[in-house]
Amino acid sequence: MFDEKELNYFTLRKQIKEIVNNKSGLKEIRLAILGDNNTNYFTEILKVIFYKLGFYLEVFESHYDTISQQVLDENSDLYKFRPRYVLLYTASNYLKKKLLDTEEKERSTFAVKYIEFLISIWDKINNSLQCYIIQNNFEIPLERYFGNYSLKVQDSVSNIFLGINRSIIESSIKRNKILINDIEYLSSYHGKKYWDDDKLWISAKTICPMEFLPSIAMNIAQIVMSCEGKSKKCLILDLDNTLWGGVIGDDGIEKIEIGNLGIGEAFSTFQRYLKELKKRGIILAICSRNEFEIAVEPFRKHPDMVLREDDIAVFVANWESKAKNIEYISNVLNIGIDSIVFIDDSVFERNLIKHIYPEILVPDMPEDPAEFVKHLNQLNLFETISYTDEDKKRAIYYRDDRLRNEEKKYFTNIDDYLKSLTMVAEFKRIEEVTLPRISQLIQRTNQFNLTTKRYSEKELVDMLYNENMYSLYVTLKDKFGDNGIVAVLIAKREKEILVIDTWLMSCRVFSRGVEYFTMNEFVKFARDKGFRIMEGVYIPTKKNKIVSNLYKGMQFTLSESKADGSAIWRLDTLEFNNFPVFINKL
């Protein structure tokens, strides 16, 4: 995370020498940059940003204005490089010149032809490399040849650029590996009269002034981090002077500042922002040093509160240290510490959490609550590459998990507790309608993930129609609610052996027997398909140690182990005995 002060072009450029050939155990990201402008200055900054985020960026940088040559020639350096990401770094000034040089009678089709060109580039790259493509939209040029009337002229420069931007979005929605770098937003945020520098374009052919290049680089880095499963899932919030003005324990519910008057409106605006984050799938939790009944009272009774108790997945208010309570919240939600953002008005509490849990992202908040939303929006802490119906329900899922955990306290026997949940599950072949959620699980699941292979929706579609591939999923419901799709299993035929290529499960359903239910059903599936031998592969990562011996517990026998910790396990399906589970199949 960088604030605006840290995104200084000249400060970052001085650090380029630190990272030259210094991989030092960092994960490598392979990215190709294809541009119709000068990308040299930008590439240097991009490398520094990735390095500071803990990644080594291996870059292929094409020559100036050679997008078509690199993409259309299958023997080009682009294809030899084999990137995981291709950045199409296209400039508004370049496109504007092409538009202005177009004959008047052809302007009405300019946008359509340009989009057709872009789509042909996207599809060629995707078919050949099956990598992520990051495509920027365009800042709307400042020139208004008709003044304010320009927006009413169909073929005005402004309208053509607006149409191109709309078409880029609409076309990318149909192609899940096309991701948008929102240059129009960045140019508006920084101010177009500063962004649009004709003199610099003429002399250096850079997309914008140097001072804004770090913002573009950060945009790209955040998109890539999301693709790499580095997204933040949970926002843990303090209460006093964070969600409302004043101290609830001293001032009481009547005197806290919230609502439409004075500074209270700033806190209401912040709560609306948080509510929108919750709606898009970010988990909200409360961590307050307070008496629970006092802390929760505004959520239940104050008429001007935007957030209510049902919006909060885990509500912790006691006199324990916040570090201990954050660990508790992490355990209850069954999420990694590194997926948490913590917001508190206290500098002491923020610095304490930064020290104890450096993996947690702790933004330094402005003193003025009216600046909260603007500050967090600028940091862009919750970048994502997808949005599904499951995201909309995520807060409900975690709230239901909290209720499950509360009920669990009343049982001394785990089997009795699992029986009480009255769980039912589906074990089905993946269908196209389920692909967005399946793809999202594949991209984001790190802990219960035996091989951590990342497949796109397009690759998954190809698997559906491959007679040697078997793609399956598991759903889970219980008396508290519907967990949706919670597990994915992809296997492939290799001669007479059925090899498990991918097996992953949502951390939300750990310890409920879903893995045993899945194996029972999968062995039955394998027998029905005529397979006697099943093979499971484990590939270690920093986060999936929890499943390193999963296959051993599933009655598999170790067939091969390697120095890097990976292993191959085998199972004779005829000798497999079903595990007892408390899940009924639908």
> Looking at 203, 227, 251, which one is the last position of a domain?
227
Residue 246's domain is classified under what CATH number? Answer: 3.40.50.1000
Helix (H) or strand (E) holding 80: helix 77-81
Q: Residue 263's pLDDT is what?
A: 94
Sheet of 178-181: strand order equals 55-61, 27-35, 85-89, 132-136, 178-181
pLDDT per position as a tens digit, 113-155: 999 999 999 999 999 998 999 999 999 999 999 999 999 999 9
209 and 285 fall within a common domain = no
Q: What is the DSSP string of 333-369?
A: HT--GGGEEEE-S-HHHHHHHHHH-TTSB-----SSG
432 and 566 fall within a common domain = yes
Q: 275 or 458, which is more confident?
A: 275
pLDDT per position as a tens digit, 84-102: 999 999 999 999 999 999 9
- Report, as an integer, the average pLDDT of 171-177: 89
470 and 579 fall within a common domain = yes
**Tokens 């003199």 sit on residue:** 199
Instruction: Fill in the amino acid letter for 573.
Output: T
Look at residue 436 and tell me if it is in a domain: yes
Handedness of CA 221, 222, 225, 230 (dihedral sign): positive
Closest CA to 61 of 35, 36, 79: 35
426 and 564 fall within a common domain = yes
Question: Is 247 within 8 Å of 253 (Cβ atoms)?
Answer: no
Q: Is residue 63 helix, strand or coil?
A: coil
Alpha carbons 194 and 209: distance in angstroms, whole number: 8
Q: How distant is the alpha carbon of residue 285 from its chain centre? A: 19
170 and 253 fall within a common domain = no
Residue 367 half-sphere exposure toward CB, CA atoms < 13 A:
0
Average pLDDT, the chain: 92
90, burial (CB in 10 Å: exposed 0-12, middle 13-18, buried 19+): buried
Question: Is 399 within 8 Å of 38 (Cβ atoms)?
Answer: no
Name the token pair of 119: 């789509």
206 and 243 fall within a common domain = no
**Tokens 């790259």 sit on residue:** 125
CA angle 420, 424, 429 (to 5 degrees): 160
Alpha carbons 33 and 16: distance in angstroms, whole number: 18
- Report, as an integer, the average pLDDT of 437-441: 88
Containing structural domain, residue 29: 9-227
570 and 436 fall within a common domain = yes
130 and 239 fall within a common domain = no
Pairing between β-strand 423-429 and β-strand 469-478 as defined by DSSP bridges: antiparallel
Look at residue 315 and tell me if it is in a domain: yes
Alpha carbons 22 and 454: distance in angstroms, whole number: 27
Calculate the alpha carbon distances from 318 to 256, 294, 351 in Å: 19, 10, 20
* Domain count across the chain: 3
42 and 189 fall within a common domain = yes
Look at residue 163 and tell me if it is in a domain: yes
Residue 402 per-residue DSSP state: H
209 and 243 fall within a common domain = no
Residue 35's domain is classified under what CATH number? Answer: 3.40.50.1110
Look at residue 1 and tell me if it is in a domain: no
Residue 575's domain is classified under what CATH number? Answer: 3.40.630.30
Pairing between β-strand 481-494 and β-strand 469-478 as defined by DSSP bridges: antiparallel
Look at residue 216 and tell me if it is in a domain: yes
Alpha carbons 428 and 586: distance in angstroms, whole number: 10
Question: How crowded is residue 308: how many other Cβ atoms within 10 Å of its Cβ?
Answer: 13
Helix (H) or strand (E) holding 289: strand 283-289
- H helix intervals, 409-434: 414-420
Alpha carbons 466 and 463: distance in angstroms, whole number: 5
pLDDT per position as a tens digit, 267-326: 999 999 999 999 999 999 999 999 999 999 999 999 999 999 999 999 999 999 999 999
Question: How crowded is residue 227: how many other Cβ atoms within 10 Å of its Cβ?
Answer: 22
Alpha carbons 193 and 141: distance in angstroms, whole number: 10
212 and 315 fall within a common domain = no
Name the token pair of 177: 């590996």
Alpha carbons 570 and 233: distance in angstroms, whole number: 35
pLDDT per position as a tens digit, 195-216: 999 999 999 999 999 999 999 9
430 and 556 fall within a common domain = yes
Alpha carbons 231 and 285: distance in angstroms, whole number: 17
Question: Is 79 within 8 Å of 244 (Cβ atoms)?
Answer: no
pLDDT per position as a tens digit, 543-585: 899 999 999 999 999 999 999 999 999 999 999 999 999 999 9
Pairing between β-strand 533-538 and β-strand 567-572 as defined by DSSP bridges: antiparallel
Q: Residue 20's pLDDT is what?
A: 64
Look at residue 529 and tell me if it is in a domain: yes
Closest CA to 280 of 368, 386, 127: 386
Instruction: Fill in the amino acid letter for 304.
Output: D
Helix (H) or strand (E) holding 162: helix 157-173
Percent of all residues in the chain with a pLDDT value above 90, rounded to a whole number: 77
Look at residue 120 and tell me if it is in a domain: yes
Is 90 exceeded by the pLDDT of residue 406? no
Res. 23 pLDDT band, cuts 50 70 90: confident
In the chain, how long is the greatest CA-to-CA distance? 80
Closest CA to 359 of 376, 346, 345, 340: 340
> Looking at 227, 256, 281, which one is the last position of a domain?
227
Look at residue 554 and tell me if it is in a domain: yes
**Tokens 């919670």 sit on residue:** 486
The DSSP bridge partners found for residue 428 are 473
**What's the chain's Rg over C-alpha atoms?**
26
3-state secondary structure 393-416: HHHHHHHHHHHHHHHHCCCCCHHH
Percent of all residues in the chain with a pLDDT value above 70, rounded to a whole number: 99
